[in-house]
Chain A
Amino acid sequence: MTTQYTSDRYEKTVEQRGEPQRPSGPAVVPQGAQPPRRGSTMQRTQLRTSQESNGRRARGPTHPWRVPVARTLGWFSIGLGLAEVMAPRALASLIGVGGEHRMLLRLFGLREMVSGVGILTQHRPAPWLWGRVGGDALDLACLGAALTSDEARPGRIAAAMAAVAGVTALDVLCSQQLSQSAPQQQGQRAESSVTINRAPADLYRFWRDFQNLPRFMPHLSSVRVDTARQSHWVAQGPTGTTVEWDAEITDDRPDALIAWRSLAGADLDHAGSVRFEAAPGGRGTFVRVCMAYHPPGGALGTVVASLFGEEPGQHLREGLRRFKQLMEAGETATTAGQPSARL
């Protein structure tokens, strides 16, 4: 299965997360492009690329908060762990094992709490859920061994084993699901935002004329506008290589949003959007760009990687900075070509 970042995929992703769809039709509105709910959030992220710009680490459908079963299991781990640590004697009696296993129960409780916290807090909960499966096996083994003990109450132990087996099944199922969904996330994602001291309309107008983009996006050498919706882009890779693609506009809302995606056969399979949103208090415009791309392998992959910089979003961030400089100061700050004793 080839992974293509098309608008369909994004909408599916949005749908899976159970979030309301934007009334945008075929718009490419990758996650994170939604306007922030409060200005303060925006200010914090000003001119920063999301820390989670790598798609594999991003909050996607694999995040436990998006998977109710995983979340439930996480809390279950913590609850059971607390009981084991704080009331080992009562618990031992409940499951029908002898009181001499208090220390073991406490240790198991710690293990439960660690996996619970891991599931609830980590961006990739699958390994932690597999950890739970291992713990379940250990629990079952210990319960089985306890059957032979003198103090054992076989009826209660059997009931406990049945309960653990049920949870184990749930753990295995959930772990498998989360592990399988991981490959879907192999695309790269880059997000960045900046506040510009101009009206949304001015910024939209400049950006919408795609031929302006090479003036501020690093490595982009030309954009040719073919039709109202289609354009041809050429980017410069290292050592004279070029990467080309055709793109089409997938959504265009004057003064607010432009979204585009590459067409089939592109060297760089990607989709992107830029939003313009008036900042509170008349303090300019928030500009947020979200790009999702699927890096090809091999030599072409190296070229594409160089277009986006060492870390995803690095060049996007610099591009936005230069966009701001052009729109505010009318030129981009530079020292290229100034004297020094190095020349």
Chain B
Amino acid sequence: MKALCWYGKNDVRVATVPDPKILNPRDAIIKITTTAICGSDLHLYDGYIPTMEQGDILGHENMGEVVEVGSAVKNLRVGDRVVVPFTIACGQCFFCQKQLWSCCDNSNPNAWMAEKLYGYSPSGLFGYSHMLGGYAGGQAEYLRVPFADVGPLTIPDGIEDEKVVFLSDIFPTGYMAAENCDIEPGDTVAIWGCGPVGQFAIKSAWMLGAARVIAIDQVPERLALAQREGQAETLNFDDEDIFDTLTEMTGGRGPDRCIDAVGMEAHGTSPDALLDRVKAAAFLATDRPHVLRQAIHACRKGGTVSVPGIYGGFVDKLPMGAVVNKALTIKSGQTHMHRYMRPLLARIQNGEIDPSFIITHRLRLADAPQGYEMFRYKQDNCIKVVLKPHDSVVPRQSTLHQ
């Protein structure tokens, strides 16, 4: 089959690889009908995530049609349409039973690697480094899904792929980010990053009762989308001092809840952001936490900082004094996918949200390397790329241009 493979920093290619096989009784094989390039794939593309190997297949936002099931999978049948959560979880361990699905004890075959870095290993993920399982991803024609009896969500007929494919990661991720804020009536929520997760965090903050949502970015089309689709007030960090503006907008108190939907590769021109770049380049630090610092600094006393943005290793100059003395709560985690997929599908079905609003580009699998480049450099107003591995002709279109 054809698959999008990682070859090194800024180097992904479509290669011919063997078809996946059932390796365990609880496996299933799905034929990918729609998959997407995630913002977190760009951390791999930029070489920020350790333990990648040349030839790894990427892709963790997957959906498709079941073509084969292992002997222990009783709830799926060949032909079922399913969305596959990006976290792989066994469903039987202490953590799965506590609904902490992304902390599953049993799904990472390379747990010892993650233990070296993190103390204990999180769950395995699709296409996201060997430290996190080394599982082949789904930017390919077919995908092997481990623990297919607990992960994939069956999608009823009549809902097109593009409305549900983001249940595989970014919609639940944005939702959990908002849920982690513990929003109370009247709260102002400030969200750094208007990429796909930020956009879903904006929508989810409204769903969970926010009185006001402020979105922060520098990319005009992303701010425009946050304003148009998300009904958020927007701030461009190129134009204004974020702390001062937030203070002013909130009557001198600061936003009640802050969400860092940016993660370890924050952009910025402040002295600390530039220093982060130098340190990361010199391997003195692995992550660039400029946004996290700003969110902690700006958050009101007793507020919550929620971190859906990905951090991989070590951050420098984290203002822990502000966390302690302002009595902040910080919440984070890879998304506990299995908790959210069904209830969020219900929200899609009853018309509360149509997640396809973020799609700007639809590409063939063969064009995926260009998709990465476009997404990475935000060319052609790119916000979200979906791939159609089995369609030979996909109209290339940008919804923003329509």
A interface residue numbers (CB < 8 A to B): 46-47, 195, 197, 283-284, 317-318, 321, 324-325, 328-343
Given known A195-B94, A338-B144, A340-B17, contact A333–B124 (CB-CB < 8 A): yes
Query: Smallest CB-CB separation from A328: which chain B residue?
Result: B92
Say whether B54 faces chain A, with CB atoms less than 8 Å apart.
yes
Say whether B50 faces chain A, with CB atoms less than 8 Å apart.
no
Residues of A within 8 A of B106 (CB): 324-325, 328-329, 333
Given known A321-B111, A330-B25, contact A340–B93 (CB-CB < 8 A): no
- CB distance A341 to B26 under 8 Å? no
Alpha-carbon gap, A28 to B289, bound state (A): 52
Residues of B within 8 A of A340 (CB): 5, 17, 53, 55-57, 136
Q: How far is the CB of A174 from chain B (nearest CB, A)?
A: 39
Q: How far is the CB of B71 from chain A (nearest CB, A)?
A: 10
Given known A324-B106, A336-B23, A338-B144, contact A197–B94 (CB-CB < 8 A): yes
Contact of B134 among A46, A317, A335 (CB under 8 A): A335
Alpha-carbon gap, A338 to B120, bound state (A): 25
Alpha-carbon gap, A336 to B24, bound state (A): 10
13 A–B contacts from the bound complex (CB under 8 Å): A283-B94, A328-B92, A331-B72, A334-B109, A335-B136, A338-B21, A338-B135, A339-B17, A339-B20, A339-B140, A341-B15, A341-B54, A341-B57
- CB distance A338 to B92 under 8 Å? no
Given known A333-B107, A334-B24, A335-B135, contact A341–B93 (CB-CB < 8 A): no
**Bitwise interface map of B from 94 to 124 toward A, beta carbon under 8 Å scored 1, else 0:** 1001000000011111011001000010001
Say whether B147 faces chain A, with CB atoms less than 8 Å apart.
yes
Alpha-carbon gap, A197 to B95, bound state (A): 10
Top 5 closest A-B pairs, CB basis? A341-B55, A342-B55, A329-B90, A341-B5, A341-B15
Given known A318-B112, A324-B106, A330-B25, contact A339–B19 (CB-CB < 8 A): yes
Query: Smallest CB-CB separation from B15: which chain A residue?
Result: A341
Query: Smallest CB-CB separation from B115: which chain A residue?
Result: A47
Given known A47-B115, A330-B25, A333-B124, contact A341–B3 (CB-CB < 8 A): yes
Alpha-carbon gap, A331 to B73, bound state (A): 13
Interface size on B, residues (CB 8 A): 45
Alpha-carbon gap, A103 to B115, bound state (A): 50
Known A-B contacts: A335-B134, A341-B5, A341-B55. Give 17 more (CB < 8 A).
A47-B120, A284-B94, A329-B92, A331-B26, A333-B107, A334-B23, A334-B109, A338-B20, A338-B23, A339-B1, A339-B136, A339-B140, A340-B53, A341-B54, A341-B56, A341-B57, A343-B17
- CB distance A335 to B133 under 8 Å? yes
Q: How far is the CB of A73 from chain B (nearest CB, A)?
A: 38
Residues of A within 8 A of B18 (CB): 339, 343
Q: How far is the CB of A192 from chain B (nearest CB, A)?
A: 12
- CB distance B57 to A329 under 8 Å? no
Say whether B85 faces chain A, with CB atoms less than 8 Å apart.
no
Say whether B146 faces chain A, with CB atoms less than 8 Å apart.
yes
- CB distance A337 to B23 under 8 Å? yes
Residues of A within 8 A of B1 (CB): 339
Contact of B112 among A317, A328, A341 (CB under 8 A): A317
- CB distance A339 to B3 under 8 Å? yes
Query: Smallest CB-CB separation from B104: which chain A residue?
Result: A329
**Bitwise interface map of B from 17 to 39 toward A, beta carbon under 8 Å scored 1, else 0:** 11111011110000000000000
- CB distance B105 to A324 under 8 Å? yes
Residues of B within 8 A of A284 (CB): 94
Contact of B90 among A328, A334, A342 (CB under 8 A): A328
Residues of B within 8 A of A330 (CB): 25-26, 72, 92
Alpha-carbon gap, A318 to B111, bound state (A): 9
Residues of B within 8 A of A47 (CB): 115, 120
Q: How far is the CB of A212 from chain B (nearest CB, A)?
A: 17
Residues of B within 8 A of A343 (CB): 17-18, 55
Residues of B within 8 A of A342 (CB): 53-55
Contact of A333 among B54, B55, B146 (CB under 8 A): B146
Query: Smallest CB-CB separation from A342: which chain B residue?
Result: B55
